[in-house]
Amino acid sequence: MADVMLRAYKASIAMEPIVALDYYVRIKTYKAVFYRQVDYMETLPPFQALDLGVLAAQTVSARGSISAGAANSLFDLQGDEFGQWRWFPYDIFMARIFLPAGVAKHQLKFLQLGIEHSIIYRDPLLVTTEFNTWQEERPAFEAMNYSDYPLAATRIIAMGYRFHTVELNKETEDKIKDGDLPCTTIVCAGKA
Amino acid sequence: METDFERGVLRSGGVVNQPNPLVAAAVVIFQVSNFGQQIGTKSFIPKKILLRNNAGGILWLNLGTVAVPTLLPPLRIQNNMDANWQEFELPRVEFFADMIAWTDVMAAGGSLDIQVEVEERG
């Protein structure tokens, strides 16, 4: 219950780290669960994380997370690290996010929601864009140019925090599983 | 509540003198930032255009990144006069390459001084 309340509280204000130093975390990816402790954290100020490139009118880009001409995805983190991200499309297009590449986020029964540039007005703190990643299990994005005009760039700005974690000994992990120690759940994937 | 997430930063190009007419004599009035080590793609939106016609005759000034298409309608510049356009008079046109300008005519010995202020984004 404590961690549910923590998350609700965090979500209602400007971006703050989901956990603090020394917190225990339960990291859930789409295929595994890890129990760890945060031993380092730092901010990731807003930066241009991705440019899916030129996009013709009324087309959808290939799904990707690496800018044209770049070698790496800027969403990748070092080993043992998880990230907390908020983001928005900087140009006038609709973005769909997958986490990881094969798993759609923001799914309804009949629709996967897209996020447009207008998110900065509808949700100025970008609360509803928040997601977490684990190590190099990066998100992937599709850009949709719904307009009748071509786009010269499809840029995404992201910001957030990265947290380095360490493994727990079995005794501590068991105490968490038994509910004797507090622990914050970090969901690092969409739900297939 | 709005945030400033969309906003770029304002900066000005230098004062560029244009002594000759036609697209072959086009001058660069603002260069896009494309330093190899910068993070991300930069672009810019013209916010102000300031012109001084130095006895160049009555002329049209074309603005774009290449000869065709121009990215803004040509501007009518009177002889021996200042002219300026502000943000609220300019369409929100975004440039991803150097902004160039050229005139249709230019009186012998005359020239045009041009300066733009842009919002650089990215």
Report how far Cα A136 is from the mean position of its chain's Cα atoms.
Answer: 12
Q: Which of B30, B109, B22 has the alpha carbon at shortest distance from B74?
A: B22
Q: Which amino acid is at B47?
A: K
Task: Report the pLDDT value the prediction gives residue A5, as an integer from 0 to 100.
Answer: 53
Query: Mean pLDDT of all residues in chain A?
Result: 92
Q: Does B39 touch chain A (CB under 8 A)?
A: yes
B41 and A153: CB-CB below 8 Å? Answer: yes
Length of chain A: 192
User: Given the structure tokens 């770049």, which residue do they identify?
Assistant: A70
How do residues A130-150 score in pLDDT, each as one tens digit?
999 999 999 999 999 999 999
B2 and A120: CB-CB below 8 Å? Answer: yes
DSSP H or E segment with residue A161 = strand A155-167
A152 and B39: CB-CB below 8 Å? Answer: no
CATH architecture of B10-121: Sandwich (2.60)
User: What's the count of helices (H) and strands (E) in chain A, helices before strands?
Assistant: 3, 10
Q: Which strands, in side-by-side order, build the sheet including B27-30? A: B27-30, B99-103, B59-64, B70-77
* Residue B5 to chain A, least CA–CA distance (Å): 7
Torsion, CA B31, CA A60, CA A76, CA A32, rounded to 10 = 170
A67 contacts in B (CB within 8 Å)?
A: 40-41
End-to-end CA separation in angstroms for chain A:
25
Q: What is the ipTM of this complex?
A: 0.89
B5 contacts in A (CB within 8 Å)?
A: 46, 88, 120, 124, 126, 157
How do residues B64-104 score in pLDDT, each as one tens digit?
999 888 899 999 999 999 999 999 999 999 999 999 999 99
* Residue B8 to chain A, least CA–CA distance (Å): 11
> Taking CA atoms, what residue in B is nearest to A74?
B39
Q: Does B5 touch chain A (CB under 8 A)?
A: yes
Mean predicted confidence (pLDDT) in A159-164: 97
* Residue A14 to chain B, least CA–CA distance (Å): 11
- Determine the Cα–Cα distance for residues A133 and A189; give it in Å rounded to an integer: 7
B5 and A88: CB-CB below 8 Å? Answer: yes
CB atoms within 10 A of CB B111: 17
